[in-house]
Homo-oligomer: A and B are copies of this chain.
Amino acid sequence: MGLEVGGQVLVTEAELTGFCTTVLEKLKVPPHEAGRIARNLIEADLRGVGSHGVVRFPIYVQRIEDGGSNPAPQVSLARETRTTAVMDGDNGMGQIVGEYAMELAIEKARDGDCAFVSVRNSNHYGAAAYYVEMAARHDMIGLSFTIGGINHMTPWGGAEAMLGNNPFAIAFPTDRDFPVVLDMACSVAARGKIIVAAKDGTPIPGDWASDANGVPTTDAVEALKGFVLPIAGPKGYALTMTVGLLSSMLSGAAFGSEVTHMYEQTTTPQNVGHLFGVLPISSFEDVDIFKQRMGKAIEEMHGARRATGVDRIYVPGEREHLSLLSRRSSGIPLSMAVFAELKEVAERYQVNLEGAGYKEIAAQ
């Protein structure tokens, strides 16, 4: 193939979606659900959130192969009221279970109630933004919380991994062609960045990680023996614990020492928990007025006096929307490392990835 290390491969949305869907179907994922999982993953890549896109596909495949995740779950409700539910995901892929759960929350809110659905026995659900954007398309504020699939964080003052880098997302409908979307996790830096620094032999900033004794370090190798640090010290610890509790305690999903390692324990169901919530705008405010006020808020941020050297101010979720528009037309750039892993999957399942029309692009 002759692609340079450090270069990228450009793939179209359609090619990548077709590839992932076909592999999942070979793993006995029902066709409709295979398509949903692929769309969810590839939307993250389109939005420039590569950390939650097809980079996760090989481990998802591995977990299904090893029995850690169920390719064809029978999702059921363990409890239900008019405005709440507890969903049991039957160890299905998080993308499947999560989409059903958010659909249920939206359905329960159709007559103007707020609604929350708690989920257990699910798996890693990809980008939290995906679910809250579903709600925004129904003129609802959407909220989504989940447990990270690995404990890499300590309680504040600790030297033992008890918490994940738990992400959450909140979306607001607007009168623009994109919603305002917060989607964040609670560590300063992803562990992947520390792995890269350790490989390169470069130091890391002092607020990224602590060593095995819980002492902050700039040595990436020592950091890999230790823990990622939360944003803003004890605030970030409190926030990641809160997101974890919201995601797990209402449904009996795993928390703390119950959380297994997504990558290292591929034969063990993870009992991942999520919480989805929706607030239908129309119960509080005229939808048009709400959206116009959101539009005004966006304009105010865009129009604020800019700091020295800054060309443009964005609102949360806007960069991701612009990336999606751009990549839908020009393609999704994948790193050589990610592409190589997908190629391995392609060969294992005899699905054609090479013929999908990708092309080399220059090394960056």
Kindly identify which residue among B115, B297, B306 contacts A114, using a CB–CB cutoff of 8 Å: B115
A245 at the interface (CB under 8 A from B): yes
A114 and B304 in contact (CB under 8 A), knowing A86-B284, A297-B255?
A: no
- Count the A residues whose beta carbon is within 8 Å of the partner chain — how many? 75
Q: Mark A168-181, 1 if CB is under 8 A from B, else 0.
A: 00101000000010
Within 8 A of B (CB), among A259-285: 277, 279-281, 283-285
Report yes or no: A84 in contact with B283, Cβ–Cβ below 8 A: yes
Kindly identify which residue among B114, B232, B242, B290 contacts A236, using a CB–CB cutoff of 8 Å: B232
Within 8 A of B (CB), among A136-173: 141, 154-160, 162, 170, 172
A231 at the interface (CB under 8 A from B): yes
- Residues on the B chain within 8 Å of A180, using CB: 241-242, 245
A214 at the interface (CB under 8 A from B): yes
Report yes or no: A297 in contact with B213, Cβ–Cβ below 8 A: no
Within 8 A of B (CB), among A79-136: 79, 81-84, 86, 112-116, 118
Interchain CA distance A313-B157 in the complex, whole Å? 6
Interchain CA distance A238-B284 in the complex, whole Å? 23
Pick out which of these stretches binds chain B: A7-15, A48-56, A246-254, A351-359.
A246-254
Report yes or no: A246 in contact with B159, Cβ–Cβ below 8 A: no
Within 8 A of B (CB), among A186-218: 188, 210, 213-215
**Residue contacts A-B, CB under 8 angstroms, 29 given:** A79-B283, A79-B284, A79-B285, A82-B113, A84-B280, A114-B114, A155-B313, A156-B313, A157-B306, A157-B310, A158-B304, A159-B308, A170-B246, A172-B245, A214-B307, A215-B308, A232-B232, A232-B236, A241-B315, A242-B316, A245-B294, A249-B285, A249-B290, A249-B297, A250-B281, A251-B284, A252-B293, A256-B297, A256-B301
Residue of B at shortest CB range from A281? B250
| Interface residues in chain A, defined as those with a beta carbon under 8 Å from any beta carbon in chain B | 79, 81-84, 86, 112-116, 118, 141, 154-160, 162, 170, 172, 180, 182, 184, 188, 210, 213-215, 231-232, 235-239, 241-242, 245-246, 249-252, 255-257, 277, 279-281, 283-285, 289-290, 293-294, 296-297, 300-301, 304-308, 310, 312-316
